[in-house]
Structure 1
């Protein structure tokens, strides 16, 4: 296989591995609060919203050290270890215990930071300035298939159910745990690049100095990666990108843990309310895949290739959030097990709810495909620190956003996202400044 073919193979394996892991994890996050609400075990006092807040808060903080960890362990093994922790978190739901639930939330937060930093490093190592847009699109589209498969299973398994039994819960989460482990094992298929040599390494010197020298080199690389992360954080390009990146974190908060819970709480949707959680995730996935396939693959490093995609994402999310505001009851995120019979500004419509799911996914892909492409292009030599900063900025709003969800009666309208509407245009122009500088 040619060197270019080997790189493309690695990108595909990377995308497929993430697809399996996040088929399990995103489906888990989408139904976590609904499952917890239906638990009969009074000894369990966990909250899906609190768990997600812990995960994304720890993830954000851990991105400060994740480049150093990836430098020491290597991207491939880093992803394998992280995948194991993802599987452990999902397995907690088979027999929930409050202490295990929150402990796993902390561990997966650390693992997620390492996983995404290693992913960015692997993506950049297997791309150049001519293929980074294509490879970002391929990876993003494969990753978002996770929303299709996991949620399709939930939709079929929970169809016609208004209450989630213990048997239903165990069956779903055993299956999701196995799926996550499959994705973890697939990381071993990623092939190392023959010409890849870490900065500061000298082949003949390494052969002479042996293991002690190798250990010193790894520590030097870890320290250098940490210093580089701090330096990159204050560059003009990274500061401009941070505004848009933070917004994508708020959107992630909404559609990964809140919107599905809201749909499952609306009694006016009838006996389909629980299965519609899965269908909503499917439509989000369709939007994500469509955006990744079209905008990622067609994106070029030229300025005109990125700006229209970002502006389309702004418009699509405007429409989605305001339709949700009119369609869903305000108390849906905190409704009891019996659900809610309230009405917002229109009678809740399943069709409108699914349309909004699609628009959320499409808009999110507009932003993320371009962000991944920009980071890979601008920071090809410093991919691990750059992607760590990206995830740090993206996940901090997620960590802060989840605690607000059960506390605000108007949470469904997601004020964080709606109020952010006006500065959207400034975010778009911030992106344009980055393009101009690149």
Structure 2
């Protein structure tokens, strides 16, 4: 196999490993608050758990590069994946102490996992293949939203209550799927020293840079990164909403009938459809002729439509409703079709923001991409932790209001950052004449 073929094979294996792991983990996060409500004498909160995960994830970004450098990316991903699997397996026989302990461990594992993933992606890519490889990885990762949620829909269809057998069957299956994903990482092959790697061919290699926390701190106070902080903060808040809160809200709506719990799975699938469609159109196929601002503005408008329909369709107490659900309604007769359409819109809008943030950060900090993306993950995960914390207490309309305000501010801030990029590019073109 040629070096280029081996590199592409590694990217595909990486994508399938993450697809299986996050088929299990994202499905777990989507249903865990609903499952916890069905448990007797279990005082822990799924929202609190996710807040802990993202808080530890954020802090651990400071040490994750050192861990990957010492252990190596392949073993780093494997052992981090085992922590994800342990978190999922905890639900087979849940205990409060093990639940929160696993939350801390998986937060640390997440930082190491994503740092190692970036390393594997970089060493198997060149300047001319990084876009293609990132697109392949993104698409495979987002397919994780399909399979686990489809399984939840089929397994829980028509169930008013999640029994112990239902819970154990689902989480044993998810644990096995996660473990298979972990072991796939061992199929990733290191470049043969006797063969030229992709970076040694005629294509230019990716720049290698420092990933220490000092570099990240320096980048965080640049004018462009300070402007990008607001849209990154927004992606952290809306990540929490679509990945944890909204599925819980749908499952709590008794007016959706006996199938409300099963609809959580369909919601997750449609979020994935939106993510993949947006990632393909605005990520892989985007040629930047119109710039990034129109895509971000489209993402904001899509999210605003989703938030307005959710405000009209979902009961205000749905995020905190008990296991038996809520009989309240908002400002219209609850409609399943509208609820699932909003799931699609949430995924589509999220892909608009994330593809353009990845694009602009990659352009601005090409020579220091690892520290720049560490800042990105740090800010995003901090805001996700905060959002999961307030999800315990804030009713749905207030959560939507926060998303509306931060989305508007983040979009304006992104516009300013993009205009700076355009000005820099214009100056560079002028100087080259």
Per the normalisation by structure 1, the TM-score is: 0.88
Match of 1:70 among 57, 68, 71: 68
Correspondence for 1:295: 282
Change (3 A) 1:226 1:413: closer
- Tell me how far 1:18 sits from its aligned partner: 1.1
Alignment pair present for 1:406 and 2:404: no
SS of 1:271 mapped into structure 2: coil
SS of 1:274 mapped into structure 2: helix
Correspondence for 2:16: 16
Alignment pair present for 1:318 and 2:304: yes
**Greater RCO, 1 or 2 (C-alpha within 8 Å, sep 6+):** 1
Q: Answer whether contact 2:230 2:409 (CA < 8 A) is retained.
A: no
Q: Answer whether contact 2:125 2:133 (CA < 8 A) is retained.
A: yes
Q: Answer whether contact 1:404 1:411 (CA < 8 A) is retained.
A: no
Correspondence for 1:348: 334
Correspondence for 2:429: none
Per the normalisation by structure 2, the TM-score is: 0.89
> Counterparts of 2:129 and 2:417 in 1: how far apart (Å)?
21
- Tell me how far 1:223 sits from its aligned partner: 8.9
Correspondence for 1:32: 32
Correspondence for 2:136: 138
Q: Answer whether contact 1:307 1:431 (CA < 8 A) is retained.
A: no
Q: Answer whether contact 1:85 1:111 (CA < 8 A) is retained.
A: yes
- Tell me how far 1:66 sits from its aligned partner: 1.5
> Counterparts of 1:367 and 1:23 in 2: how far apart (Å)?
22
Q: Answer whether contact 1:10 1:126 (CA < 8 A) is retained.
A: yes
Q: Answer whether contact 2:274 2:344 (CA < 8 A) is retained.
A: yes
SS of 2:290 mapped into structure 1: helix
Q: Answer whether contact 2:209 2:369 (CA < 8 A) is retained.
A: no
Correspondence for 2:319: 333
Correspondence for 1:390: 376
Q: How many residues matched?
A: 413
> Counterparts of 2:281 and 2:380 in 1: how far apart (Å)?
23
- Tell me how far 1:365 sits from its aligned partner: 1.2
1:238-267 residue CA offsets vs partner (Å, 9 max, x unmatched): 333322222111111001110000000011
Match of 2:237 among 250, 257, 279: 250
> Counterparts of 1:175 and 1:387 in 2: how far apart (Å)?
33
Alignment pair present for 1:53 and 2:51: yes
> Counterparts of 2:301 and 2:94 in 1: how far apart (Å)?
41
Change (3 A) 1:343 1:169: same
1:80-125 residue CA offsets vs partner (Å, 9 max, x unmatched): 1111100000000000000000000000001111111222222233
Match of 1:276 among 254, 263, 271: 263
Correspondence for 2:204: none
Q: Answer whether contact 1:24 1:176 (CA < 8 A) is retained.
A: yes
Task: Tell which deviates more after alignment, 319-328 or 147-156.
Answer: 319-328
SS of 2:50 mapped into structure 1: helix
Match of 1:360 among 343, 346, 353: 346
SS of 2:105 mapped into structure 1: helix
Correspondence for 1:426: 412
1:281-313 residue CA offsets vs partner (Å, 9 max, x unmatched): 01001111111222222124x463533322221
> Counterparts of 1:429 and 1:38 in 2: how far apart (Å)?
45
The gaps in structure 2 that reach 5 residues or longer are: 199-207, 426-433
Correspondence for 2:102: 104
- Tell me how far 1:50 sits from its aligned partner: 0.6
Change (3 A) 1:149 1:62: same
1:177-226 residue CA offsets vs partner (Å, 9 max, x unmatched): 111111111112223345679xxxxxxxxxxxxxxxxxxxxxxx999623
SS of 1:423 mapped into structure 2: helix
> Counterparts of 2:58 and 2:294 in 1: how far apart (Å)?
29
